[in-house]
Structure 1
Amino acid sequence: VATQLMVNRALEAAQHLAEDGIDVEVIDPRTLHPLDMETIYASVRKTRHLVVAHEAVRDFGWGGEVLSNAVQECWNELDAAPRRLGAARTPIPYSEELEKAVVPTAAALG
């Protein structure tokens, strides 16, 4: 489930990309179960791209599952290889300031 920090970073990245003329659609799934894959499929079909970003480490997380399902459903509609972004391979710290250093930044998303 996306935290507000990750949503804010995704929106910040979308704003930076918009300044370069790139239109980005940000989806906050809110829950992993049930997961609204139909909204994700519709976005992939519309944008023809997919970037999955989450606070967990990149490997073996729910982002890989989302990416896998989207690729299976929308493979022929993708114009580029999908990307997964996740946190550094370290335990997520309790301190909010340290957490900000571990979770993907807007620069990494854009």
Structure 2
Amino acid sequence: MNRKLNKNESAILAKAIYQKRLSIGLTLAELENITGVNSSQISRFEAASFKFASKNLQKICNFLQVETLYKNPNTDLGERVEKFAGKSPLHRLAVEELLRAIEHIDSIKASD
């Protein structure tokens, strides 16, 4: 994984990690016990004091279900939607509902 991250990517990822940890009610020590990643390192992740997407960062993001890297802009949107929809029946339902909402907005704009 060890991809270099720019400051903006690190900041966005740090905020997502922090917010997700708080939303599920975990302390740094509890997250350390669960993941095996030292709480001081987790604190550095939450403070955006990192430049590379390391194995430990990946462990934290995997456990918290935080997306670690930006989507490749060259990746086909259809591939991304299909990958997301394939995660579970609930994900597929979410994609279908989103598409229905977009189609509804499109039909409203077409009638204006």
TM-score when normalising by structure 1 = 0.30
Give the number of the structure whose residues are more often strand, by fraction.
Answer: 1
TM-score when normalising by structure 2 = 0.29
The higher-RCO structure (CA 8 Å, 6+ apart) is 1
Give the number of the structure whose residues are more often helix, by fraction.
Answer: 2
